[in-house]
Homo-oligomer: A and B are copies of this chain.
């Protein structure tokens, strides 16, 4: 029995096979993402992994269906596994925005799904950090969000040598387009052509832009000019004040293909190897209004950062810690008549938050000790006669015999076990 194509199994490390993914690395990434969004005072939300298909076609048109993991449910509803989080967020905010002070600063870590029939061998799901600010029209919010994006990469140890934020503006493009006589009708096709410009041959680009009434050279010139608009200048100065100037550059080669972006847009790119996009986002001031059928009108902006490219980048840069099991105490049972007393000690230790392991069935003492070392145990503990216990600190090699009732005091006086997940 095989899993479905394009889906991942997440196993504990060490990984058994190149074909599977690390559950520990996933946990590590999610924990870091939660940590950094907290520093920026973002709060967590989530919605259903399935939504009505209409939520996506309303926003992106019928052509999106070819990329969706869409299905029909038992109630004959047209549904889709969520391909992105923004429509769900807009739906949720539109329903209950009155309850929350503006600006709303929310994040979530959803699993997202795509299914393009012709693209075999590609992943059909990934996880994404989504962070959004809703209800703030000022460009100061754009700077705050971009600072969060930068820190969401810095938190893993990545530096300005590893990635860059390419900063652009739909407003700048819109001005360029209209000044050069572009029509409303062709605007989407023009943005799409700019979005794909780096993936096409010069010949193909020449032809495309000519068809839209533009000179490819003029488009190229505008892209390479890199002259910040007044709006982008505010963002750059804001980020510079934070000491983050080295992480950003104006680059009109980024435009974000989707129809709904309205203002500042940006993408994070890996500087190493093939300059792949790690994250992207921007302003979408009209979307909440669209999704709510005109009832709620709130400006908004956000970004999404996937787990797949990030994981590859962290692996290439050797920035993952070593993942292994860690226990605080391994309880050794040499004489089965002490199993009951040992179980009591185990329970007391676990009640205090210690991570404890032992052998469920009788096993030779040297094998138990070997297992304690494999599990990086800080202590071994062995119940002995007369209500005593032998405690050994495996770091210092210090060993002592003490009354069982004093074990907790001794261990928790020596080393406080952490109660949160650690990845060391």
Contacts and interface: CB of A to CB of B under 8 A. Distances in A.
B41 A355 contact: yes
Interface string A51-92: 110110010000000000111111101010100000000011
Identify which of A26, A238, A343, A346 gathers the most chain B CB atoms within 10 Å of its CB: A343
Given A16-B98, A34-B421, A71-B71, A41 B325 contact: yes
A47 B361 contact: no
B48 A4 contact: yes
Contacts of A182: none
Interface string A8-41: 1111101111001001101100010011001111
A49 interface: yes
A392 B29 CA distance: 34
A318 interface: no
Contacts of A316: none
Interface residues of A, number: 105
Nearest to A353: B39
B9 A92 contact: yes
B4 A339 contact: no
B16 A96 contact: yes
A1 B58 contact: yes
A360 interface: yes
Given A41-B355, A244-B347, A420-B420, A48 B361 contact: no
A395 to B, nearest CB: 19
Interface stretch (A135-143, A269-277, A302-310): A135-143
Interface in A159-198: none
Counting every copy of the chain, the complex holds 2
Interface in A326-371: 327, 339-341, 343-344, 346-347, 350-351, 353-357, 360-361, 371
Interface string A224-255: 00000000000001100111100000000000
A3 B355 contact: no
A132 interface: no
Contacts of A31: 420
Given A4-B52, A39-B356, A140-B360, A340 B241 contact: yes
Contacts of A46: 9-10, 23, 26
Given A1-B293, A91-B3, A115-B73, A106 B12 contact: yes
Given A23-B43, A242-B347, A343-B242, A360 B73 contact: no
Nearest to A354: B39
A94 B17 CA distance: 13
Given A96-B20, A243-B344, A41 B140 contact: no
A360 B144 contact: yes
Contact of A11 (B10, B45, B103): B45
A367 to B, nearest CB: 11
Contacts of A346: 242
Nearest to A137: B361
Given A43-B23, A117-B75, A343-B238, A51 B10 contact: no
19 contacts: A1-B58, A1-B94, A2-B52, A3-B47, A3-B51, A9-B92, A12-B106, A14-B99, A17-B95, A35-B419, A39-B353, A40-B355, A41-B327, A41-B355, A48-B125, A69-B74, A72-B72, A74-B117, A242-B346
Given A1-B293, A11-B92, 17 more contacts: A1-B58, A4-B50, A9-B46, A9-B92, A12-B100, A16-B95, A16-B100, A31-B420, A38-B355, A41-B327, A41-B356, A41-B357, A41-B375, A43-B325, A71-B71, A74-B115, A243-B347
